[in-house]
Amino acid sequence: QVQLVESGGGSVQAGGSLRLSCIASGYTYSGYSMGWFRQAPGKEREGVAGIDRDGRATYADSVKGRFTISQDSAKNTLYLQMNSLKPEDTAMYYCAATPVYLYGGSLSERWYKYWGQGTQVTVSS
C-alpha cells in the first residue's frame, strides 16, 4: 500500500524559509515521478514543482528561484526547500507520486496517482 506522509509545514514571517519533507512507503521510490502541489483556501489546487526519477525538475513560475525540489531515493524522501516565502505562498502543501515516467517532472495533477494528506504552510506579512 502506497503511503505519502508530509511534514515540515508551519508558520513563518515573509522572507523566511521552510523545508517540507515527504516520506514514501509501499513502493520502489526510485521508479516514480514526484511532485509538490498546494491549495489555498477558496482556490484550486496548483502544481508547485515536479521531479522525475533522474532528478530533472520543473517549477511553477510563481516559485522559480525561491523553491527547490529534491529527493533522496535512499531515504525514500522528497523535499521542497522554500526560501523568500511570501504571504501568497500560504496554502496546504501536498506531496504526490506516480509510476508514470514524467520526463523533467510535471505540474499537472492528472498524472499523479498517489497523494499525501498535506502539511499547512502559513506566511505572515
Question: CA–CA separation, 2 vs 67, rounded Å?
Answer: 26
27 band by pLDDT with thresholds 50, 70 and 90: confident
pLDDT tens digits, residue range 1-16? 899 999 999 999 999 9
Mean pLDDT of 80-103: 97
pLDDT tens digits, one per residue of 98-121? 999 999 999 999 999 999 999 999
Tens digits of per-residue pLDDT, 49-80?
999 999 999 999 999 999 999 999 999 999 99
- C-alpha 1/C-alpha 20 separation (Å) is 22
User: First and final CA of the chain: distance in angstroms?
Assistant: 40
Main-chain phi, psi angles of 73, to 5 degrees = -65, -30
Closest CA to 116 of 41, 51, 39: 39
The pLDDT value recorded for residue 95 is 98
